[in-house]
Amino acid sequence: MPEPMMMKRVVVTGVGMLTSVGVGREATWQSLLAGTNGIRPITLIDASDLASQVAGEVPEFDLSTYLDRKEARRMDRFTHLAVMAAGEAIEHSGIDIAADADEIGCMIGAGIGGMATLEEEMKVLFEKGPSRVSPFLVPMFIPDMAAGQVSIRFGLRGPNYNTVSACASGADALGTAFEVIRRGDAIAMVAGGAEASVTRMSVAAFAASRALSRNNDPETASRPFDLERDGFVLGEGAGILILEELEHAVKRGAPILCEMVAYGQSADAYHVTQPSEGGEGAARAMNIALRKGGLTPGDIDYINAHGTSTPMNDKFETMSIKTVFGEGAHDVPISSSKSMFGHTLGAAGGIEAGVSVLSLRDQRIHGTFHLVHPDPDCDLDYVPEGARALPLKYVMSNSLGFGGHNSSLIFGTFEG
């Protein structure tokens, strides 16, 4: 009989991010540590008649670094964000793609894809007729085009596809890419999430479902775990990591930021938008990740929570952490990046994984912004005072999506 396959170890060698608090990895990270608020009045669309009029919009960025004007016109904004973040991550890593292109792949999650392009072309269809619909509509709006265009732009010829699992999409892309490398199907993966969700239809639809905050004060709209929270604030952005087989990274002298240790996922099988009672599904995802990583709850030094600022998510996520960590739940610091840049839907898992990696690199965590009135049902350590320096060995990043998708990622300091 053949010998069982030995699973590869996976490390993180590059990070790229664009969010409403910063264009680029370091700009975003320093803004989060400083408690910068990226929620502002919406400018990308006319929001004057919408229930929610604030969002986390990415500041202006220079596409010419990676795309010429003609290429850019044939891509939706969510793909622009993905290409920019991927380019930064690849440069950060220093990986020579041309040398191993057949063994380097791409996996980028998106929850809704090119919604802005679809809205624009629907208007063309209704006002000017079917003959005027753009021939580029399909390759602009389908969610896999972020991964497809990043692959084309950077010459990635390994495994390439897209994950769509609502707000867990970016985390599932990273987890799936992690497993691809572990089983030997690639030596590196460009993976994460991208989303450009600030469109009229997106805002109207999420508001109609009662998921969005109706608070249009940018300074208090996104407030995870606060008693007065009333919904999430839409954000946009991209977060991309370079995951790499340890042996390959060491051989080329790569800058190893940390090790990716485990990926756990589960389904609530409960409701299309509401979390399962008590956060049972999220607790299972966390326990699966811990088991697969050979860890105990006491090994986790920090949790980057999903923390959306919706009444049910924050309450049930708190309950799920208590289920997993027991008496130790009150000892582990937890924070929500969404408190500053909003809910970036399919990009959230990628961005927040990047935040977790940088936390390990710098041995610092950011706080939870806008947490002024503590909710008695959310009584854990959410770091309301701001950034905190502390020794970190293992960090967990959780993402939970509509449809009952739960994903938990664990990263650890690299110790050889």
Which residues are designated catalytic? Answer: 167, 306, 343
In contact, 276 and 268? CB cutoff 8 Å: yes
Q: How far apart are alpha carbons 150 and 105 in whole angstroms?
A: 10
The residues facing 304 across adjacent strands are: 335, 397
Residue 388 burial (C-beta neighbours within 10 Å; 0-12, 13-18, 19+):
middle
The residues facing 194 across adjacent strands are: 238
- The 10 Å Cβ neighbour count of residue 114 is 26
State whether residue 52 is helix, strand or coil: coil
Closest CA to 398 of 326, 300, 312, 330: 300
Query: Strand pairing of 104-109 and 188-195?
Result: parallel
Q: How far apart are alpha carbons 218 and 230 in whole angstroms?
A: 13
For the record, the structure tokens of 155 come out as 């010459």
Closest CA to 296 of 330, 262, 320, 270: 262
The residues facing 412 across adjacent strands are: 259, 394
Q: What angle do CA 221, 332, 23 make, to 5 degrees?
A: 45
Query: Strand pairing of 364-365 and 334-335?
Result: unpaired
Q: How far apart are alpha carbons 226 and 219 in whole angstroms?
A: 13
